[in-house]
Amino acid sequence: MEKFYCDGIRIRDSLGRERMFRGINVCIKTHSPERFLKIMDKITEKQLKKNSEMSFESIGANIIRFGITWAVVEPQRGKYNEEVISAVRDFINLCGKKGIYVMLDMHQDLFSHYFHGDGAPEWAVKGKYESHAPFAIWAEGYFYMQGVQNAFYDFWSDSDSLQTDFVKMWSHLTEELKDCSNIIGFDYLNEPYVHANGRKIFLNILSNVTRIVYNKNINYEKYFKPGKDKRGFALMSLKIASIIKTPGRLKKLLKTMDSYENFSEATKGLEKYTAEFNKNYYEPFFKKLCASAGREGKFNFFEHNYYSNLGVPFGIDVSENDVYTPHAYDVFIDSPLYNKYSSNNRISVILDGIRENQLKMNVPVIFGEWGGGAPGSDWIEHIDYILNRFEEYRWSSIYWGYSFTEKRLERVFNRPYPVAVCGDITKIKTDSEKRSFTLEYTNSKDFENAETLIYIPEKGVVPYRAQKGENKIEISY
């Protein structure tokens, strides 16, 4: 399949065309190799082997972010599960036959299944850390659980050579997959969590929100004592409940924090807790992985740290083949409030911050995770808004949690997009209600053997001849 290269903030192919990608995440979070293999059989049968409305092709996907875990690749220390790697190879090759590129993601949430998440194998955590089940949402371990924080600190410090083992695992994996020509690149670690200060950042955000909404200055750190994580969280939650008190004051909270300015203020200045991690821990880790064998001709994808999902500024030194693959979600993701209260203003703060990060580092963006889902239909308008913002910044994107059975989502998601453009894209605009699409681009050279390609729902990829100078294509779909 085709090869690509970075040109500032754009991705180009060998013909010099600007390229864009749109796709979905396929993530197998299990730590069991046996379960992984069973799940893979079902995915390949449903979405790739059958030519049906459930296929990736039916929504115009030309890229899949394929997530696996360290636990299934290396269930025993120093011993790689070749059956799992073979299944990964087969899936990637099957995607290639369909013309779909793969971003291979080493997924983690809360470091490991040991903390009720996924990622690292049991031998990397067992007997080393305290673990608690969450009260309400899966991500609580990031916010206050010391065991999760300690596990990440040890990983970034290469305690017991854990990071060294992780790099070795990646080297083995890329060597085994070197003949998969449709691997566009490697996303080495999902949502890297900070080496320290994780709880402090979260509690600072809560303190800022309390001050902005209710004009109260509260230090929530005082509730947390060594070895008393859940007790501290419970006490903090009771304090917050005593401040909110009534449905009216809850509505005040929701309305106040729906403001672009107020949400920006809530996360302002928190980079003082993440800058050291970005520069002294994450950047060397990323460079170490980029330098390993088997990466030739592939993109090295880097994410920002977990708290930059909320718009905290991020930056590292990058090389010519590095591509930024950020994530962003509204704060009410994974909760029933997402349907009614997902906020275009809040997500704009995050997206505008990511744009600043991109321009500062001068790299292309393929958005690695975004999306949503909740009972009801109000959240669909939020998804439409985000897609419009992606078009404004001319970002490629990969959706998390896409449901082929959600027809309301399909109406806004399955829209035209430029696959390959003979020149530089200057404008992309879709109106999902009026079913109209506009592409504008400039062309300063002859593309005798190339055409501009646009995906159009129900028509597939359609070619257009490019003229020198300004080009404008308008489509009804």
Euclidean distance between the first and the last CA atom of the chain, given in angstroms as a whole number: 28
pLDDT cut 90: percent of the chain above it: 90
pLDDT reported for residue 57: 86
Q: Look up residue 431 and give its amino acid.
A: D
Q: Which two tokens mark 457?
A: 């729902």
pLDDT reported for residue 44: 73
**pTM, to two decimals:** 0.96
Beta bridge mates, 151: none
Q: Do 340 and 297 meet the contact criterion of CB atoms below 8 Å apart?
A: no
Per-residue model confidence as pLDDT tens digits over 398-440? 999 998 889 999 999 999 999 999 999 999 999 999 999 999 9
- pLDDT, average across residues 205-218: 98
pLDDT reported for residue 46: 67
How many Cα atoms within 13 Å fall on the side-chain side of residue 329? Answer: 20
pLDDT cut 70: percent of the chain above it: 97
How far, in Å, CA of 275 to CA of 197, rounded?
Answer: 11
- pLDDT, average across residues 154-158: 98
- Given a cut of 60, whether residue 51 has pLDDT beyond it is no
- Given a cut of 70, whether residue 48 has pLDDT beyond it is no
How far, in Å, CA of 21 to CA of 64, rounded?
Answer: 9
Environment class of residue 406 by beta-carbon count within 10 Å: exposed (0-12), middle (13-18) or buried (19+)? middle
Write phi, then psi, for 392 (nearest 5 degrees). Answer: -60, -40
- Return mean pLDDT, the chain: 95
Q: Where are the strands (E) in 196-314, listed by range?
A: 299-302
How far, in Å, CA of 7 to CA of 322, rounded?
Answer: 11
- Given a cut of 70, whether residue 293 has pLDDT beyond it is no
For tokens 């290469």, the residue is: 158
Q: Where are the alpha helices (H) located in 342-419, listed in sequence order?
A: 344-361, 378-393, 407-413
Greatest mean pLDDT among 106-110, 402-406, 448-452 lies in 106-110
∠397-184-50 over CA atoms, to 5°? 75
How far, in Å, CA of 446 to CA of 404, rounded?
Answer: 40
- pLDDT, average across residues 227-254: 96
Cβ neighbours of residue 219 under 8 Å, at least 6 residues apart? Answer: 203, 207
Beta bridge mates, 425: 441
- Residue 2's pLDDT band, with cuts at 50, 70 and 90, is very high
Q: Kindly compute the dihedral angle of the four CA atoms of residues 265, 303, 138, 85, in this order, to the nearest 10 degrees.
A: 180
Least confident of 140-144, 270-274, 333-337: 333-337
Q: Do 312 and 267 meet the contact criterion of CB atoms below 8 Å apart?
A: yes
Beta bridge mates, 400: 371
How far, in Å, CA of 396 to CA of 6, rounded?
Answer: 13
- Given a cut of 70, whether residue 151 has pLDDT beyond it is yes
Interior/surface letters 40-68, b for 16+ CB within 10 angstroms, e for the rest: beeebeebbeeeeeebbbbbbbbbbbbbb
- pLDDT, average across residues 215-229: 95
How far, in Å, CA of 317 to CA of 449, rounded?
Answer: 36
Beta bridge mates, 473: 439
**Biggest alpha carbon–alpha carbon distance for the chain:** 69
Beta bridge mates, 152: none
- Which of 426, 472, 420 lies closest to 447, judged by CA? 420
- Residue 297's pLDDT band, with cuts at 50, 70 and 90, is confident
- Given a cut of 90, whether residue 266 has pLDDT beyond it is yes
- pLDDT, average across residues 75-90: 98
Environment class of residue 106 by beta-carbon count within 10 Å: exposed (0-12), middle (13-18) or buried (19+)? buried
Containing 69, the helix (H) or strand (E) segment is strand 63-69
Radius of gyration of the chain (CA): 22
Q: Look up residue 106 and give its amino acid.
A: M
For tokens 């330098």, the residue is: 291
How many angstroms separate the Cα of 388 from the Cα of each of 171, 231, 337? 38, 43, 22
How many Cα atoms within 13 Å fall on the side-chain side of residue 304? Answer: 28
- Given a cut of 90, whether residue 363 has pLDDT beyond it is yes
How many angstroms separate the Cα of 286 from the Cα of each of 289, 310, 324? 5, 21, 12
- Given a cut of 60, whether residue 50 has pLDDT beyond it is no
How far, in Å, CA of 342 to CA of 246, rounded?
Answer: 21
pLDDT reported for residue 215: 98
- Given a cut of 70, whether residue 53 has pLDDT beyond it is no
Query: Crossing angle, helix 146-156 and helix 162-176, to 10 degrees?
Result: 70
